[in-house]
Amino acid sequence: MPGFAQRTAGTGGATGGAAAETPKARGKALRARVPRAAQGELVLDEGRPDAVRAVKESSRDRVPALAPIRVGRMAATPFAFLRGAAGLMAYDLAGSPVTGIGAQICGDAHAANFGLYGDARGRLVIDLNDFDETAVGPWEWDLKRLATSLVLAGRVAGADEDVCRSAAFDTVGAYRRTMRLLARMPVLDAWNAIADEELVSHTDARDLLGTLERVEEKARANTSARFAAKSTEVCADGGRRFVDAPPVLRRVPDAEAAAVAASLGEYLGTLPEDRLPLLARYAIHDVAFRVVGTGSVGTRSYVVLLLDHRGEPLVLQVKEARPSALLPYLPRVGFGAPGVEHEGRRVVLGQKRMQVVSDNLLGWTTVEGRPYQVRQFRNRKGSVDPAALSADQIDDYGRMTGALLARAHAHSADPRLIAGYCGKNDELDEAVARFAVAYADRTEADHAELVAAVRSGRIAAELGV
């Protein structure tokens, strides 16, 4: 039957079969071709672009006027540079060894891309929450990016080098142990595992409890209603409209606003039918352009204000979906680049494949020929700033995010296969931690190059925005 695994002789099912053909054994066998210790290697290409060239190339086809804001944000710290340099790291990772096990990967799994958000009933879950670069690729790429980001976040926070390296080491250990746990669980239980507060106890992240409680409290208040109260004003006709707050929020010409509003018709066609009566009870009142993120600065992004019959707001974000920054480099490690029907669809489906619970209004659309993703804005979102954590918390945060990443990968890759490769001991943990420290050093050098270029006037930057 299509879509289901076939249980036949020789596959290790109830009919028997060679143990070497089980997913776990196949994963273990991969160590002969790609030793776990080899995951610690960092080999940089001689043709590698310098930091300034990489930033300029990644800014192509973005809104030119916003490029200095993006540069200014990336120049703030080495951790901020890493956040905006997913493409440069993918270039470097393409020269590293991979097992060939494919998964739906985030593509930008740094430590600041995890957080709290609300489900359809208002309950908070914690998970990966940024998927602009998502693609099918090597699971190792996400893990190495996450481990590197913990080293850089710890350095920015002032932690000593042992603490930073331990955070990377324990991040990988949590990933490995969680994958082994998922491999042993019934499939349905593993599929729905680890997306709530139980994760703290699973990863022994007790030192994070106070921080998570404060983030949760803020997240519960981070709603469309609060954003609308701060960012809109009442019109003469009793409706509401956005108020300019340059450079982050600005009103747009009527024709541009009309194009965005009209695109929501296509968006409705990407939603499950049971969501349509909900949105039919709202009316569109205004559209504004809003600058987003660090790596996303310069992409076209709008907020759309909808009001119900009581004047209660719902704000949607309509965000441009560019081709994944990983796309040019995946074929180098054996992952094809299949044609993408719609970049917004790619982002939305990638997110749904990795999360246990996704935004129930997640969809996609096209505005003036450009693809966009659509989602709720300020959907009770909350996040931990990993660069502001204390030394005793950064390690806990690494373990928590490592476990979340394993669960996300296990939705598309058989956890038995990855667990078989990762194994029981800490050989992989040591290797990836070694890589993370080396790549953090490289990122600090890249950041220094960018800062020097800003100071010399080689590249424009708007700082502190």
CB 278 within 8 A of CB 359: no
CA neighbor of 225 nearest in space, from 302, 307, 303: 307
Q: In the predicted model, what is the mean pLDDT of residues 251-266?
A: 97
Q: Can you give the pTM of this predicted structure? A: 0.93
Q: Are residues 231 and 307 in the same domain?
A: yes
Q: pLDDT digit string (tens) for 405-442?
A: 999 999 999 999 999 999 999 999 999 999 999 999 99
Q: Are residues 123 and 215 in the same domain?
A: yes
Note whether residue 31 is domain-resident. Answer: yes
pLDDT score at 198: 58
Q: Are residues 390 and 367 in the same domain?
A: no
Note whether residue 80 is domain-resident. Answer: yes
**Strands 135-138 and 232-234, bridge-based pairing:** unpaired
Q: Are residues 227 and 215 in the same domain?
A: no
Is the pLDDT confidence value at 271 over 70?
yes
pLDDT score at 312: 93
Note whether residue 333 is domain-resident. Answer: no
Note whether residue 462 is domain-resident. Answer: no
Is the pLDDT confidence value at 456 over 90?
yes
What total of structural domains would you count in the chain? 2
Q: How many CB atoms lie under 10 A from the CB of residue 337?
A: 16
pLDDT score at 201: 60
Q: pLDDT digit string (tens) for 340-387?
A: 889 999 999 999 999 988 999 999 999 999 999 999 998 888 888 999
Tokens 């990407």 sit on residue: 270
Q: How many H helices and E strands in the chain?
A: 17, 12
pLDDT score at 1: 44
Grade residue 195 by pLDDT with cuts at 50, 70 and 90: low
Note whether residue 446 is domain-resident. Answer: yes
Q: What percent of the chain has pLDDT over 90?
A: 75
CA atoms within 13 A on the CB side of 226: 11
Q: pLDDT digit string (tens) for 128-139?
A: 999 999 999 999
- For the chain, give the mean pLDDT: 91
Note whether residue 189 is domain-resident. Answer: yes
Note whether residue 90 is domain-resident. Answer: yes
Q: Are residues 394 and 351 in the same domain?
A: no
Q: Which residue range is the domain that position 260 belongs to?
A: 223-324+341-379
206 DSSP 8-state letter: G
